[in-house]
Amino acid sequence: MSDLPKRVTINEEGPREGFQSEKKMIPVADKVRLIEALADTGLKHIACVSYVNPKRVPTMADAEEVAAKINLKPGVQYSALWLNQQGLERALRGPLHVDGGVRVTASDTFSRKNIGKSVADAMVEQRMSLKTFKDRGMPVEWGTILGAFGCNYEGELSTDLILQRVQLALDEAELAGFKLKGIKLTDAMGWATPASVERLIGAVRSKWPDLEISLHLHDTRGTGAAAAYAGLRMGVTKFDASVAGLGGCPFAATDGAAGNICTEDFAFMCEEMGVETGLDIERLIDVAKLAEEIVGRPLPGHLMRGGTLNAARRKVAA
């Protein structure tokens, strides 16, 4: 299709998002095994751990240990998430990549639930992290709007509010001496539909035509693949996804807090439509099966059960 991008980049969120939301503890060796297997599929960005308060997210208490044990493959960015200055300092002491970004939560209530601070207070704290990035000469290129499509605590969020949040991210970055090149719109609470993806991206684009846009979608209500396709149609070339559909946000107040869109399913859909991903989808399926083995329950990915069409084509040719 001529109106879809030629190529997209998929950031893998499975280890961080996925293990964070599991109820049982996953052994460090299993986490490392999954991360290393993901690095063999062509993925260039893998979110591995969160440096968060182990009292709030016990499954991430081993972040330092996991980070230390990964056999880092050249050319792959293994990243660590952090939510506050304390987490950032832990992340910076570790061996993983730390994204120098600026984050703004769309809904004030979700901000309080997710990071324990109002949007305004969170911005004050971000000034400290932005200063840390500046002092260390780290780039700050992306702003992230958390929960940009709606909020389980506040309901609908107006497009105007989201545009204000984008402005806030741009302003805070500028104040610290940075110019953002892109905005990531995230939907941890699973409110996005294809229509709202088109609407919000359209609104951001018409105000800031030069900003790149990235999408972080969750498949909470079965709209994930369609919303991602709407993003592709809008020319989005950066997507977060999670192998086998691992994951969920533990503070999103959704009963069945669902994972990101599924990496291998989305990559398969892209490749079948002529959108390059650079990923080895058969290998991703093997990793998806490994993820199921590790968490010990079926995960939502479809392709690992249905098989690729290339496999079906090979069978026909044989």
Catalytic (active-site) positions: 249
CA-nearest of 185, 246, 237, 193 to 216 is 185
Residue 136's alpha-carbon distances to 43, 84, 92, 284, in angstroms, are 27, 17, 10, 36
Question: Residue by residue, what is the 3-state secondary structure of 257-275?
Answer: CCCECEHHHHHHHHHHCCC
Q: What is the DSSP string of 234-299?
A: TT--EEEEBGGG----TTS--TT---BPBHHHHHHHHHHTT-B----HHHHHHHHHHHHHHHTS--
Using CB under 8 A as the binding rule, whether residue 27 contacts its own copies is answered as no
Spatial separation of the C-alpha atoms in residues 64 and 53, rounded to whole Å: 12
Spatial separation of the C-alpha atoms in residues 99 and 83, rounded to whole Å: 12
Using CB under 8 A as the binding rule, whether residue 194 contacts its own copies is answered as yes
Size of the site for its own copies (CB under 8 A): 56
Q: Which stretch binds its own copies (CB under 8 A): 8-16, 64-72, 157-165, 271-279?
A: 271-279
Residue closer to its own copies by CB (options 61, 273) is: 273
Match 């806030």 to its residue by tokens.
168
Using CB under 8 A as the binding rule, whether residue 118 contacts its own copies is answered as no
Residue closer to its own copies by CB (options 151, 294) is: 151
Spatial separation of the C-alpha atoms in residues 304 and 301, rounded to whole Å: 6
Using CB under 8 A as the binding rule, whether residue 202 contacts its own copies is answered as no
233 in Cβ contact with 1 (< 8 Å): no
Pick one of 112, 113, 205, 221: the residue that binds its own copies (CB under 8 A): 221
Residue closer to its own copies by CB (options 175, 195) is: 195
Residue closer to its own copies by CB (options 60, 228) is: 228
Pick one of 18, 87, 190, 247: the residue that binds its own copies (CB under 8 A): 190
Using CB under 8 A as the binding rule, whether residue 255 contacts its own copies is answered as yes
140 in Cβ contact with 177 (< 8 Å): no
Minimum separation from the CB atom of position 254 to its own copies (A): 6
Angle (CA) 251 158 232, round 5°: 80
Using CB under 8 A as the binding rule, whether residue 7 contacts its own copies is answered as no
Using CB under 8 A as the binding rule, whether residue 110 contacts its own copies is answered as no
Structure tokens at 55: 């009292």
Using CB under 8 A as the binding rule, whether residue 191 contacts its own copies is answered as yes
Using CB under 8 A as the binding rule, whether residue 318 contacts its own copies is answered as no
Q: Alpha-carbon torsion 271, 276, 281, 284, what sign?
A: negative
Q: Which stretch binds its own copies (CB under 8 A): 20-28, 36-44, 81-89, 145-153?
A: 145-153
Using CB under 8 A as the binding rule, whether residue 296 contacts its own copies is answered as no
Minimum separation from the CB atom of position 316 to its own copies (A): 4
Residue closer to its own copies by CB (options 128, 312) is: 312
Can you give the binding site for its own copies, defined by CB under 8 A? 1, 4, 150-156, 189-191, 193-196, 198, 219-226, 228-230, 254-256, 258, 262, 265-266, 268-269, 272-274, 298, 300-309, 312-313, 315-317
